[in-house]
Amino acid sequence: MQGRSESNVLIVGGGIIGALSALFLAQSGLQVSLLDRRFMGQESSWAGGGIISPLYPWRYSSAVTALAGWSQGFYPDLGVSLERETGIDPQVHATGLYWLDLEDEALALAWAGREGRVLLQPGMAEVHKTLPVLGDGFAKALHMPGVANVRNPRLLKALRCALAQKANVTVHEGSEVTGFIQQGGRVCGVRTGQGELRAERVLLASGAWSGELLATLGLNLPVVPVKGQMILYKCAEDFLPAMVLAKGRYAIPRKDGHILIGSTLEHAGFDKTPTEVALASLKTSAQELLPALADAEVVGHWAGLRPGSPEGIPFIGEVPEYPGLWLNCGHYRNGLVLAPASCELLKNLMLGESPIVDPAPYAPAGRLG
């Protein structure tokens, strides 16, 4: 691909943010090239839990709340449209979510009141009736009906298939970007191990790796890798009817009875090696939440790298010091839930459309070192 200029937009990173950005821009008629250093969707997007809500939404700023709320409304239709186009069901699964023994319950209820969200206070007898496999020892609960989870590996598989069907999208896997090309005061392409690729605009959506690429331009993006480990059990399909969160750990039921337990928060650089210490800790949490899992087999254990950012507020927009270079990265723990709104906002800004939310909190201007 030496020196080719084939795209209106070149996207660096094939996770949920890069893939959904590519889909939205392609649906608007742009020619899109998407590059991934390995395979699409195999890093943080694959490794996450897929809860379509921040774990504790009341602990985030209005900037995160705005993106999450828009995305939550968008996900059901996204799942339907992707299954119709590709035959792959991303399994947007509305189960509701229970929080147990929250220390900041009053803040949660106040947030729900301000945001107009339904947040119930069921008694523990009612909770145990709904969730008979729940462990004893929990004193109080909050319940938000309707919260969904998405089966993220299937979501990424469906997006990959949808992009492959579009004549105006080209995907380059196994293509690691090593730097940016500048010409006439603008960023106009990237350098890769296979040569140069040029475009009118370059979008950086490389998650935890975005900071390394921006550093080649002398910019300091405050996005760092934060390791998260998870484990997976296989149970009966009706084992757990709702998501449960206690003491920072969660259980997520899939439609086929798989139960995800997560997650650790570790600052270990770019090391993704699963550890025995984390396995033991996650199993302890799992059995405290759902004692029957003591007799279940762990069928999966993996780690991923979240793109940690200040307050979890992503960077979305053009880099003023480098016209032609755009960012959509730094979503920290909420990449999957914030993705639809982040990518729609990115498209709005790129195409001069009316933005779905105020873009100011996410603008790179003044937030890069």
Could you read off the pLDDT of 121-137 as tens digits, one per residue?
999 999 999 999 999 99
**Residue type (1 letter), 185:** G
Domain with CATH 3.30.9.10 in the chain: 97-145+224-308
% of residues, the chain, pLDDT over 90: 97
3-state secondary structure of 185: coil
pLDDT at 1: 43
pLDDT at 3: 44
Q: Name the average pLDDT for the chain.
A: 96
Strand 177-183 relative to strand 243-246, pairing: unpaired
Domain with CATH 3.50.50.60 in the chain: 4-47+155-222+311-362
- Which of 39, 35, 36, 40 minimizes the C-alpha distance to 6? 35
Place of tokens 């590709």: 86
Kindly report whether the global pTM for this prediction surpasses the value 0.75.
Answer: yes
Tens of pLDDT, residue by residue over 89-111, are 999 999 999 999 999 999 999 99
pLDDT at 6: 56
**Residue type (1 letter), 325:** L
DSSP per position, 38-92 = SSTT-SHHHHS--BSS-SSGGGS-HHHHHHHHHHHHHHHHHHHHHHHHHS-----
Alpha-helix runs per DSSP H in the chain: 16-27, 44-47, 62-86, 105-115, 124-130, 152-164, 210-215, 276-289, 335-351
pLDDT at 269: 96
Q: For the chain, what percentages of helix, strand and coil (3-state, to nearest 5) are there? A: 35, 30, 35
Whether residue 2 has pLDDT greater than 50: no
**Where residue 369 falls among pLDDT bands split at 50, 70, 90?**
confident
Handedness of CA 90, 100, 130, 249 (dihedral sign): positive
Tens of pLDDT, residue by residue over 249-266, are 999 999 999 999 999 999
Whether residue 296 has pLDDT greater than 80: yes
* Rounded-to-integer distance, Cα 14 and Cα 317, Å: 18
CATH superfamily of 97-145+224-308: D-Amino Acid Oxidase, subunit A, domain 2 (3.30.9.10)
Q: Give the Å distances, CA to CA, from 366 to 222, 271, 356.
A: 12, 30, 22
Largest CA distance in the chain: 68
Q: Give the Å distances, CA to CA, from 116 to 123, 148, 263.
A: 22, 18, 29
Tens of pLDDT, residue by residue over 128-162, are 999 999 999 999 999 999 999 999 999 999 999 99
CA 32 to chain centre: 21
Tens of pLDDT, residue by residue over 37-63, are 999 999 999 999 999 999 999 999 999
% of residues, the chain, pLDDT over 70: 98
Tens of pLDDT, residue by residue over 317-330, are 999 999 999 999 99
CATH superfamily of 4-47+155-222+311-362: FAD/NAD(P)-binding domain (3.50.50.60)
- Which of 66, 174, 60 minimizes the C-alpha distance to 108? 60
- Which of 46, 6, 1 minimizes the C-alpha distance to 196? 1
Buried (b) or exposed (e) across 17-32, using 16+ Cβ within 10 A?
bbbbbbbbbbeeebbb
